[in-house]
Amino acid sequence: MASSKVGSIGEYIREQRTRAKISMRQLADVSGISNPYLSQIERGLRKPSAEILAQIAKGLRISAEVLYVQAGILEEREADTDVQAAVRADLLLTERQKQVLLDIYATFHKENQANGMTPEHDQTAGKDEAG
């Protein structure tokens, strides 16, 4: 399963670059890699290392984790909640800030589950407090 994604990493990077409306040369410049090397990655001729993927992700302003999953380096995890997706997508937060917020969010979830709280309970509690 992971190996099928490896071949598409270049296509995925090209797609993300196109969506971001930046040229290959611009991405190469902001990523700190050479234009020919980036071209080879996008055409599937080179398999980038995790470090190179992290540099490309930074240039694309996306999570390196997304590229790692696409490249087969990491296993895909459960889908994000709306809150997690919003935090990950926020361009004004640094990667460290995003991780801290996500860690706090996960801690609250674990604590509430340990206390037997369910999503339905949480919704009714909010109504009581607001009313």
pLDDT at site 121:
58
Which domains can be identified in the chain, with CATH numbers? 2-71 (1.10.260.40), 82-130 (no CATH)
**Model pLDDT for residues 41-67, shown as the tens digit of each residue:** 999 999 999 999 999 999 998 888 888
Instruction: Indicate the Cα dihedral angle 48, 8, 68, 81, nearest 10°.
Output: 160
Q: What is the pTM of this model?
A: 0.56
Retrieve residue 67's tokens: 């590229």
